Amino acid sequence: MQKSAVGIVEPKDFHIKDDLKLKSGKTLSDVSLRYETYGELNKAKTNAILVCHALTGDAHVAGRHNLDEKKPGWWDGLVGPGRALDTDKYFIICSNVLGGCTGSTGPTSINPKTGKEYALDFPVITIEDMVNAQYELVKYLGIDKLFCVIGGSMGGMQTLQWAVSYPEMMHKIVVIATAARSSPQQIAFNEVGRQSIIHDPFWNNGEYYDKENKPDTGLAVARMIAHITYLSNKSMAEKFGRDLQDKEEVSYDFSIDYQVQSYLHHQGETFVERFDANCYLYITKAVDYFDLSENGSLIEGFKGVKASVKLISIDSDWLYPSVQTHEMLTAFQANNVDVSYTELKSPKGHDAFLLEDGPMNFIISTFLSDNAVENLMETIPTISKTAKVKEAAEIMFNEHVTHLPVVSDEGVLIGIVTAWDLSKSIINGCGDLEDVMTKDVHYCKPSDSIEDIASTMKKYDISCLPVVNDDLILEGIITTDQISRLISN
């Protein structure tokens, strides 16, 4: 068994205290999200990355729940020390979506009003509803701003929704193999899958949880249909060709002749062991409804986005073809969003984002390591210029800081006082802060690059820079220690 980089992980449950209002106008009570975390949240809570899973994924993005688990999490090759989602550097979060069937509230959950499974009494949900539930989780974890949100396929839809719904909540997003609105063809494939479930004789209008027979056949066929869209013609030809399955010649009946048939049947059979038919109906419907355009325009839909964006498509992906990514790229550029785009060359189709660990690690880690000051800066206490030296010393001692920005009542940077300045004040007998603080202060802007401000620090032999906006309002501080930690990681 291949060893996972993050080892054994433990799933956790988060309960939303208040009712969750849905886009449909309905509400859900007693909502829970199953989630997992990897790495540690730093003191400033600035290193959190939210990973959003695809259609039939879950919160188990990496590692194993126990030593007997055969396979690690679904993106294990990208999560761990030294990988793109570096657990020595970042705090990784992944939650099962609202409507899911692996711990989060969905059709399989108990309806508090009836004491039995929701089934079709569960309200129809949207990608926006999923993201709103994740937002509650992120706030519960004490995180005011995510370093990055990342996801592929339906996870990419959630990532885009985050950037639109909560534009101030993240520095960066990575959007992989997805679209900003579902196309008619994508909706059509989902509908065929749903109809295969609905027409299963054991579906029973969704009321099958207490029955011996479940709509396994319909769910398996839905998975077989979907799985074809995850592959490419080239990958299927290379993997199966027209090779026969356990026979020397074709049977001239309706049994399984070809290896590709056997493979699809296996995919369907294993899928029903871990997924629920009703959940499949609800989640695919949420994907159908997804459309971030405003009045038919993605340019209008993306006008509030503030995060830096990395778009990734796969050249052999015909489920979410590159042309849909180009549409997003144009819309982001029209809004002057900081956006870059990479088309991954792979014969593996849509699933390449789950299978091509090497290229994905390189593309994502390069984007994440391209840092601006705002990605590293920390907030620290400030003090007024009318304060006494003793007050500054007490703040520094209690807050364990060596630099203290001096600001006006409006928050404008006036100067800075350091531990060295306080030492001089004792020698010179100064009691007023204004007499010892440095007034000619070098500073930087949140959008400045780490490389530029590191050069500034070296040039002037200083160990920190206050970070201010265009109005000189203090937003934070960045130190050589923070930059050194970034480089060492």
Site of tokens 């080239």: 234
Alpha-carbon radius of gyration of the chain: 26
Which alpha helices (H) appear in 246-356, and where do they start and end? Answer: 259-271, 277-289, 298-301, 322-334, 352-355
From the candidates 53, 171, 350, 403, which is the catalytic residue?
Answer: 350
- Residue 449 a catalytic site member: no
Q: Which structure tokens are listed for 469?
A: 């906006």
- Strand-pair partners of 34: 13
From the candidates 95, 104, 109, 153, which is the catalytic residue?
Answer: 153
- Residue 308 a catalytic site member: no
Whole-angstrom distance, CA of residue 348 vs CA of residue 231 = 6
Contact partners, residue 287, CB within 8 Å, separation at least 6? 55, 127, 154, 157, 182, 186, 190
From the candidates 317, 346, 351, 403, which is the catalytic residue?
Answer: 317
Residue 145, by phi and psi: left (phi above 0), alpha (psi -120 to 50) or beta?
beta
Describe the chain by its helix, strand, coil percentages, rounded to 5: 35, 20, 45
Give which of 258, 477, 240 is closest to 382, Cα–Cα. Answer: 477
- Residue 350 a catalytic site member: yes
Whole-angstrom distance, CA of residue 7 vs CA of residue 413 = 46
End-to-end CA distance of the chain: 28
Give which of 177, 173, 157, 195 is closest to 288, Cα–Cα. Answer: 157
CB 30 within 8 A of CB 105: yes
Whole-angstrom distance, CA of residue 455 vs CA of residue 202 = 68
Describe the strand order of the beta sheet including 170-176 as a list of residue ranges: 12-15, 32-38, 91-95, 48-52, 146-152, 170-176, 308-314, 339-344
Give which of 112, 110, 132 is closest to 23, Cα–Cα. Answer: 132
CB count in 10 Å sphere of residue 423: 12
Whole-angstrom distance, CA of residue 435 vs CA of residue 388 = 10
Describe the strand order of the beta sheet including 403-407 as a list of residue ranges: 383-384, 403-407, 413-418
Whole-angstrom distance, CA of residue 318 vs CA of residue 349 = 7
Whole-angstrom distance, CA of residue 337 vs CA of residue 162 = 15
Q: Which residues are catalytic?
A: 153, 317, 350
